[in-house]
Chains A and B, each alone.
Chain A
């Protein structure tokens, strides 16, 4: 493995966060809504910190200078897709947290169909996680079949 330590730590943390979100979904099914809210809030906010501290600086330095010229290369395309979809999913998750957990938003901006929104975001979250894992493999794991 040729990955830097921070990349290994981020991958492990992201897998853990994905699992915490699944536990949170299970808590909702058990009608433990208070625990569900805590679980999902911690996961989404912890992810926000990781994105801001590690992923955005890394993306700006190594990926964004190659867009759009090198988008045809798989290592750029994977990272760009992960970044774009991940950004949308994180923002949507934050919106759900604010809409469901606070009364900050006016009535017309609140969500009506919570289950649909939350399940969609959870599925998209795991898609982003898989894209992130694929990006990790593409950037850091030497594969003999590439040659």
Chain B
């Protein structure tokens, strides 16, 4: 009986150590990062497809220009600014802090929209 408890104790200790080791492996951490959220906004016919997009903090938003004229994606506070995007060009930005981010197209300033980060 005493031996059985001792063996059980060793097995549990080893299993716990293995679980801790596996959960802290760099590879696994990277996999968790890969699972971060993403969202897309299409630019078409001189407008941003989603006028107000709500996302979680850590989300990467990707804008795609489906229009046949160049557009840019520029935040009001200049936090992010794309180059002039030609047809099918993309621009991505990862929102890490909660808040409301208003943005516009600098070529066509009446094109506006916002990202709400929760």
Contact B86 A142 (CB under 8 A): no
Interface: A126 (CB within 8 A): no
A3 CB-CB contact with B under 8 Å: yes
Complex: A10 Cα to B46 Cα, angstroms = 21
In this complex, the interface size class of chain B, counting residues with CB under 8 Å from chain A, is 10 to 19
Bound together, the chains give a CA A3 to CA B70 distance in angstroms of 13
Q: Name the distance in Å between B48's Cβ and chain A's nearest Cβ.
A: 12
List the one stretch of B20-28, B50-58, B108-116 in contact with chain A.
B108-116
Q: Which of B64-88 contact A (CB under 8 A)?
A: 68-70, 84, 86-87
Which residue of B68, B70, B111 contacts A146 across the interface (Cβ within 8 Å)?
Answer: B68
Cα distance A62–B86 when bound, in Å? Answer: 11
Report yes or no: A4 in contact with B68, Cβ–Cβ below 8 A.
no
Q: What residues on B are CB-neighbors of A142 within 8 Å?
A: 45-46
A140 contacts across to B, CB distance below 8 A: 108
Tell me the nearest residue of chain A to B110, going by C-beta.
A2
Given contact pairs A70-B86, A73-B86, A147-B45, A62 touches B107 in the complex (Cβ within 8 A): yes
Give the interface size bracket for A toward B.
10 to 19
Nearest B residue to A146 by beta-carbon distance?
B68
A-B contact count (CB 8 A): 32
A62-B107, A147-B45 known; A138+B69 contact, CB < 8 A: yes
A66 CB within 8 Å of chain B: yes
Decide yes or no whether A26 CB sits under 8 A from chain B: no
Q: Are B68's CB and A3's CB within 8 A?
A: no
User: Chain B residues with Cβ under 8 A from A66's Cβ?
Assistant: 70, 84, 86
**A2 and B46 form a contact (CB under 8 A):** yes
| B interface SS class | loop
Instruction: Pick the contact of A139: B45, B69, B109, B111 (CB < 8 A).
Output: B69
Per the bound structure, the CA–CA distance linking A3 and B107 in Å amounts to 8
Which chain B residue has the least Cβ–Cβ distance from A1?
B110
> Chain A's nearest CB lies how many Å from the CB of B57?
32
Query: Which residues in A have some Cβ–Cβ distance to B below 8 Å?
Result: 1-4, 62, 65-66, 70, 73, 75, 138-140, 142, 146-147
Give the A-binding residues of B (Cβ under 8 A).
45-46, 68-70, 84, 86-87, 107-111
Known pairs A2-B110, A142-B45, A147-B45; list 6 more (Cβ under 8 Å).
A3-B108, A62-B107, A75-B68, A75-B69, A75-B70, A139-B107
Q: 9 nearest interchain CB pairs?
A: A2-B108, A142-B46, A2-B46, A4-B109, A2-B110, A75-B69, A142-B45, A146-B68, A62-B84
